[in-house]
């Protein structure tokens, strides 16, 4: 079962800043991650948000580092064991 | 939690500080914008939320005051980490650093310890002009009583920060802004590394051979390690096998590893992002020649910032900073293959 890594729709005020970027992935594609681990960092202007794994499993990256994202976007999935 | 994570240097530093703060109630942090903002280069991210304002103290813009307070706290039994936001700002607090922190162990006949970390951001390359772009490695390494650390990657940054906090002498911990892995400043591929979860200490004075080679030794540290490795990869295609040494600490300086390498290769290029004259590059060359002038089969080369303030203009700044191309050209010169550099 795959769990989506979804940015919260209210993570930032999209009326002020419509887009952010994926600043960092802290695991490689296919890495095994634990629920709650910080897997990625999103930057909007100069503010950053840590994104945590919603489940245990294998990470699949959908939006690569430096990719543009909006609130509510799915940036990756976690395939559960 | 897993240890297969690839962490940035900034997160490695803040994790090291957090782990030492959990283990030792005398460890605390002071500096400008180190609390809510997490340090302008991310070195103290998350600390305020976990440890509160008593142990993560935002200061006024007065380095003279809070670096001096850090020395006093260290001599009174605490283990402060004070952040000097840019190393370039040392001018207003140098008395506290070199007359107080560096000397008080000696002046007290060893009765006082000064277990203090002065953490500071170094380096240029991003058009921030001459008061925000220096490394000033040698300015601090020149002064007896200070240990000086300048890591090139996240793994070393965590282990060296833990050693710095546990050290009973003042340690100047110099992180390069361009290695921090910040979202708004690009960093080289190798700066973020796999980072063990547990606390671990890397001893000072142990350089790391980050690439083995037989033809020439490139000695460097901090950001320039990445440029040297890029140069070594380019030279490999020309049949030149370069060894790259990451010094990791300036004080203490691991001369032994340098000498061993140069004895093997017979050729030496030293690269530093600090000013050229009276600096690290000259110190390394002098150490090699003092040991045995016969180590060298060819005249050594050194690459550093020519003796001018770092320019603001991007083309001019890029011109004065060493890079993979200029390092590779210097290596070819030591091998008598200068023409290929053109």
- A74: which strand partners? A6
pLDDT at residue B1, as a whole number: 43
Q: What is the pTM of this model?
A: 0.94
Q: Which residues contact B252 (CB under 8 A, 6 or more apart)?
A: B147, B204, B205
ipTM above 0.90, yes or no: no
> Tens of pLDDT along B53-78?
999 999 999 999 999 999 999 999 99
pLDDT at residue A81, as a whole number: 61
Dist CA B195 CA B142 (whole Å): 32
DSSP, collapsed to helix, strand or coil, labels residue A30 as coil
- Do A25 and B184 count as a contact with CB atoms less than 8 A apart? no
Per the residue annotation, which of B20, B32, B63, B273 is the catalytic one? B63
- Do A28 and B6 count as a contact with CB atoms less than 8 A apart? yes
Divide the 81 residues of chain A into consecutive groups of 10 and give the mean pLDDT of each group.
93 93 95 95 91 96 96 95 61
pLDDT at residue B341, as a whole number: 45
Read off φ and ψ for residue B275, nearest 5 degrees.
-65, 155
pLDDT at residue B99, as a whole number: 97
- Do B4 and A48 count as a contact with CB atoms less than 8 A apart? no
Dist CA B79 CA B115 (whole Å): 5
pLDDT at residue B93, as a whole number: 97
Which residues does chain B have with pLDDT short of 70?
1-2, 338-342
- Do A32 and B4 count as a contact with CB atoms less than 8 A apart? yes
Q: Mutation test of the interface with chain A: which of B5, B15, B44, B195, choosing the one with the most A Cβ atoms within 10 A?
A: B5
Q: Which residues of B are less than 8 Å from A41 in CB distance?
A: 183
pLDDT at residue B338, as a whole number: 60
Q: Domains in chain A, start-ordered, CATH in brackets?
A: 2-80 (2.40.50.100)
Q: Could you tell me whether strands B117-122 and B171-176 are parallel, antiparallel, or unpaired per DSSP bridges?
A: parallel
pLDDT at residue B152, as a whole number: 98
Dist CA B137 CA B150 (whole Å): 8
Q: Which residues contact B237 (CB under 8 A, 6 or more apart)?
A: none
């Amino acid at each position: 079962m795959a769990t989506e890594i979804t940015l919260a729709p209210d993570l930032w005020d999209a009326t002020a800043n419509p887009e952010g970027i994926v600043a960092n992935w802290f695991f490689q594609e296919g890495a095994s991650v634990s629920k709650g681990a910080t897997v990625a960092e999103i930057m909007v202007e100069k503010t950053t948000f840590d994104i945590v794994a919603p489940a245990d499993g294998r990470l699949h990256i959908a939006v690569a580092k430096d990719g543009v994202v909006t609130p509510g976007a799915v940036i990756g999935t976690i395939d559960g064991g | 939690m897993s240890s297969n994570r690839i962490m940035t240097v900034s997160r490695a530093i803040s994790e090291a500080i957090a782990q030492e703060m959990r283990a030792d109630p005398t460890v605390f942090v002071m500096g400008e914008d180190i609390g809510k903002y997490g340090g302008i280069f991310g070195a103290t991210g998350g600390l305020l939320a976990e440890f509160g304002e008593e142990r993560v103290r935002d200061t006024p813009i007065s380095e003279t005051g809070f670096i001096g307070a850090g020395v006093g706290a260290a001599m009174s039994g605490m283990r402060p980490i004070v952040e000097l936001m840019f190393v370039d700002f040392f001018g207003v607090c140098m008395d506290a650093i070199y007359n107080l922190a560096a000397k008080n162990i000696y002046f007290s006949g060893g009765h006082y310890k000064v277990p203090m970390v002065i953490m500071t951001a170094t380096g240029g390359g991003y058009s921030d002009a001459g008061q925000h772009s220096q490394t000033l490695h040698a300015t601090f390494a020149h002064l007896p009583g200070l240990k000086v650390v300048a890591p090139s990657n996240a793994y070393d940054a965590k282990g060296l920060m833990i050693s710095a906090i546990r050290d009973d002498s003042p340690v100047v911990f110099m992180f390069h802004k361009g290695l921090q892995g910040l979202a708004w400043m690009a960093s080289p591929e190798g700066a973020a590394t796999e980072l063990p979860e547990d606390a671990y200490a890397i001893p000072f004075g142990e350089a790391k051979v980050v690439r083995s080679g037989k033809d020439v030794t490139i000695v460097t540290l901090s950001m320039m390690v990445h440029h040297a490795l890029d140069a070594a990869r380019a030279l490999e295609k020309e049949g030149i096998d370069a060894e790259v040494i990451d010094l990791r600490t300036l004080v203490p300086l691991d001369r032994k590893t340098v000498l061993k390498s140069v004895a093997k290769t017979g050729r030496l290029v030293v690269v530093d992002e600090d000013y050229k004259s009276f600096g690290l590059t000259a110190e390394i060359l002098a150490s090699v020649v003092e040991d045995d002038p016969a180590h060298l089969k060819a005249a050594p080369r050194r690459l550093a910032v020519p003796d001018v303030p770092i320019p603001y203009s991007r083309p001019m700044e890029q011109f004065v900073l060493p890079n993979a191309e200029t390092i590779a050209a210097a290596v070819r010169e030591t091998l008598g293959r200068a023409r290929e550099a053109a």
